[in-house]
Amino acid sequence: MALSNRQARWLLLGPAGLWYAMLLVLPLAVVLVYSFGERGAAGGYQPAFTLAQYANLATRWTAFKNTLMLAPLGTVAALLIAYPLAYFLAVRVNPRWRTLLLVLVIVPFWTSILIRSYAWIFLLGGRGIPALLADLGLGDWRLINTPFAVLVGIVYGYMPLMFFPIYVSLEKLDRKLLEAASDLGSPPWRSFVQVTLPLSLPGVATGSMLVFILLMGEYLIPQMLGGGKVFFVGNALVDLFLQSRNWAFGSAMSVTLVAVMLVVVTLYMRFLKRIGAAREDVGLM
Amino acid sequence: MAEFIGTTKRYGTVLAADRLNLAIRRGEFLSFLGPSGCGKTTALRMLAGFETPSDGTILIDGVEVGAMPAYRRPVNMVFQNYALFPHLTVAENVAYGLRQRRPRVAREDIATRVARALDMVRLGDFGPRRIWQMSGGQQQRVALARAIVNEPKILLLDEPMAALDAKLRAEMQVELLNLQRQLGITFVLVTHDQQEALSMSDRICLMGKGRIAQIGTPRELYDRPANRYVASFIGRANLLPATVRGVADGRVVVTLASGDQVEVAAAETVPGTAVEIAIRPESLSLSPHPVEGTPSVPAVITNRIFLGEHIEFQLTHPVLGVLQVMVPRQTERMLPGADVGATFHVLWDRGLGQILAED
C-alpha cells in the first residue's frame, strides 16, 4: 500500500500529536477550568465561575516565596559548580581519563533520587555533618530542615542536567580558536573570557533553563530535606489536592506557577539574546 | 629576521623536527614544503609559539623566543581552517589582535586600521557581517586581514589555501604575492603543494622525515636537486643508475647501465664512482631515428598520455626500465607513428641530468 506524502505526514505526526493533546493540552485545559471553580462540599471540584481561588493565593505566599528564592539560587549554584567541572573535563583533562571521569559524574545517578536524598538526611542530620562540626569545636549547627539543606539537595540532584549541556558546548569548542586568540596576543585568561565563555553560553543557557524549569516544580527534595518547614509550590499542591482536597484552589495555584514560569523564562531568553548567546551560528538549545 | 638553531622537537620517541638550521631573511617569501608528517607544520608551530623546542632554539629579530608564549611573539598566523571567531563579526575578528594590545590602542585607531586591512583584502563592505555568512574564499581573506592588521614581523601561513578550489586557490596565490610586495612583511608558508611552493616562494625549505632536505630558490631545487628525495618530490624525474666515466673542465660523462654514454651537469666526482642520475621528463626528447651527435637510447613506447599542453610518453627499455618523456604539443606533430608498441629513440642533450648525492 502506497501512502501519499500527506497521509504519511499525519501518520508520522499522529503518535506525538496524540500524546501532546492527551497529556499536555487536555490536562492544562482541565486545570485552567478548575481554577475558576469551587471546592465541593466533600472536597474535589464543583463547577462555578469565580476568581475567589486567585484572590486567596496570598495565603500560600510562603510556598511561592521559597520556590522563587531557591529555584534561581539553586540554578546559579549548580551553574557555579558545574561550569568549572565541565571546563576541567572538556578542556583540561587528559583525554585518556575523560571517559572514566565522565562515568564517575554519572554513576551516582544510577541510584534513585529518593535513596540519595535519604543519604543527605543522614549527612545533614544531627549525627552527620553538624556532629562533626561540633566535635571540631566549630559551634552548634542545625542543617536539616533548613533552606540550606534544600539548596544542597537540589544542587546535588540537578547538577548533571547543568553539567552535560555545558560539557558538550565546551567539548565541541575548536581548540584552534584558542590558539588563534593566543596568536593575536591574548593571554590565557583573556582568551577564556573573550572566546571560551561566549562560545559556551548556549550550553549554559540550555543547562540553566532545564534546571530552573524543573526546580520550579520540585516536590521530592523539599519534602525530604525541608521536613515540612521549607516547602515549594509543588509541596503545597500535593497538600491541596491530596490532603485538603481543594482541587479548585490547587488548580489556581498551578496556573499561577505556570504563568510565573513563563514570565521568568521569557525574560531569561531576552537577556540571553541581548548578551549574544542566542545567535543563529551557535544555536540555542 | 628569524633563525632556527639546531631546533629539535620530540613527541615521546618521535622526532618531529630534527636539528633544523635555517635563517629566514627579512622580507622574503619562504615555504616549508614536504609531505604530511615531514615536520613542516611543527617548524611553523614552533615559530608561532604553539610548540616549545625540545632542543636548540629559535631567534626572532635576534631575540631568543624558544619558550616565549605565542601571545608575546611579534608574529601572526593564518590558520589552515582559518579559526575565525564564530561569535564575532568580520570587523570584530580583524580587530581582535589590536584590542589585545597593552597599552590599549585608541578606538578610532582600531577602526581605521581594521577598515584599511579589510580594504586590502577587498572586503571593505563586509565588516558588519557574521563569519557564517561568508564563503570559504571570503573567510580566507578575513583570516588574512586579521593577521596583517597587526603588522607582524613575520606572517605565518599554515596551508592557507588547502580548503579552496583550484581556481580560487590560483587567484589567492596571486593576491598573496601582491600583498607581500605591498607590505614588505616576511611570509613563511607551509604547504604540501609543490606547485604552490614553486610559484610563490623566494626560497623553499624542502623537508622530509623531520629534517631539512634542501634549502634554495625554486629553480635551484628543480634544476639541481641535492639528492634523490628532492629530485623525486619536486617535479618528476627519471632516476637512472650510472658510473662516472670521465671528468674534465666541468664536464662529466657517465655510462648508463645500458652501456650508453651521456654527458650530465657538472658535479664534484671522480671516474669510476657509481652514481644515480636524475633527468626530468621534459629534458628528454623523442625521435624516430638516432640523431648524429646526440646520445640516445632506443626504447618501446608503452603508454601515451594526453595532458593538454603536453603529451607524456612512457617507454620501456630492457635494462633501464621505464623512461618518462614529456613532449610539448607542437612537437608531437613531428612524431608521426609515435604510438604504443613503436620503438623510438630517447634523446639526451648534452649537459642535462644531474648527479644525485646520497640521501
DSSP alpha helices (H): ranges in B292-354? 329-332
How far B93 CA sits from the closest chain A CA (Å)?
A: 10
B86 and A CB contact within 8 Å: yes
Residue-wise pLDDT for A174-209, tens only, equals 999 999 999 999 999 999 999 999 999 989 999 999
A60-284 has CATH 1.10.3720.10 classification: yes
User: How long is chain B?
Assistant: 359
* B317, B258 Cβ separation under 8 angstroms: yes
Query: For residue range B323-344, what is the model confidence (pLDDT) as tens digits?
Result: 999 999 988 888 888 899 999 9
- Nearest-CA neighbor of A177 among B199, B358, B149, B87? B87
Residues in chain B with CB shorter than 8 Å from the CB of A203 are none
- SS3 letters across chain A: CCCCHHHHHHHHHHHHHHHHHHHHHHHHHHHHHHCCCEECCCCEEECCCCCHHHHCHHHHHHHHHHHHHHHHHHHHHHHHHHHHHHHHHHHHCCHHHHHHHHHHHHHHHHCCHHHHHHHHHHHHCCCCHHHHHHHCCCCCCCCCCCHHHHHHHHHHHHHHHHHHHHHHHHHCCCHHHHHHHHHCCCCHHHHHHHHHHHHHHHHHHHHHHHHHHHHHCCCHHHHHHCCCCCCCHHHHHHHHHHHCCEHHHHHHHHHHHHHHHHHHHHHHHHHHHHHCCCCCCCCCC
Instruction: Give the residue from chain A lying closest to B155, CA to CA.
Output: A183
Q: What is the pLDDT of residue A1?
A: 60
| A285: pLDDT strictly greater than 70 | no
Q: Where are the domains of chain A?
A: 60-284
Per-residue pLDDT band for B163 (boundaries 50, 70, 90) equals confident
DSSP state of B202: S
Interchain CB contact of A186 with B (< 8 Å): yes
ipTM over 0.90: no
Given a cut of 90, whether residue A41 has pLDDT beyond it is: no
Phi, psi of B261, deg, nearest 5:
-105, 130
The pLDDT value recorded for residue B70 is: 96
Mean pLDDT confidence for B264-281? 89
| Nearest CB partner across the interface for A190, out of B81, B84, B100 | B100
Contacts of B69 in chain A (CB under 8 A): 182, 187
pLDDT in tens, B212-244: 999 999 999 998 898 899 998 998 999 999 999
pLDDT the model gives residue A244: 87
Residues from chain A contacting residue B72 (CB–CB below 8 Å): 185
Minimal C-alpha gap between A179 and chain B (Å): 7
Q: What is the pLDDT of residue A280?
A: 46
pLDDT at A229 over 60: yes
| Whether B131 and A282 lie within 8 Å, measured CB to CB | no
Q: Do B70 and A183 touch (CB under 8 A)?
A: yes
Model confidence over A147-163: pLDDT tens digits? 999 999 999 999 999 99
Contact B100 A195 (CB under 8 A): no
Segment B87-105, tens digit of pLDDT: 999 999 999 999 999 999 9
- Binary contact (A199, B71; C-beta < 8 A): no
Q: How confident is residue A276, by pLDDT bands cut at 50, 70 and 90?
A: low
Q: What percent of chain B has pLDDT over 70?
A: 99
pLDDT of residue A188: 95
Q: Which three cell numbers stand for residue A43?
A: 472536597
Residue B104 forms contact with A (CB below 8 Å): no
Considering chain A, what is the average pLDDT of its residues?
Answer: 90
pLDDT tops 70 at residue A283: no
Q: Please compute the mean of the pLDDT values over residues A270-279 and round it to a whole number.
A: 69
pLDDT tier for residue A282 given thresholds of 50, 70 and 90: very low
% residues pLDDT > 70 (chain A): 96
Share of chain B above pLDDT 90, in %: 79
Whether B93 contacts chain A with CB within 8 A = no
Alpha-carbon dihedral of residues B257, B260, B265, B271, nearest 10 degrees? 70
Residue A281 has pLDDT above 50, yes or no: no
Q: Which of A184, A190, A194 sits opposite B150 (nearest CB)?
A: A184
What residue in B sits closest to A188 (Cα-Cα)?
B71
Q: What angle do CA A89, A90, A93 make, to 5 degrees?
A: 50
Cβ atoms within 10 Å, residue B8: 19
Work out the pLDDT band at B58, boundaries 50, 70, 90: very high
Helix crossing, B90-99 with B136-148: angle to 10°?
Answer: 20
**Span B48-75, average pLDDT:** 94
What is the rounded CA–CA span in Å between residue B62 and residue B59?
5
Residue B189 has pLDDT above 90, yes or no: yes
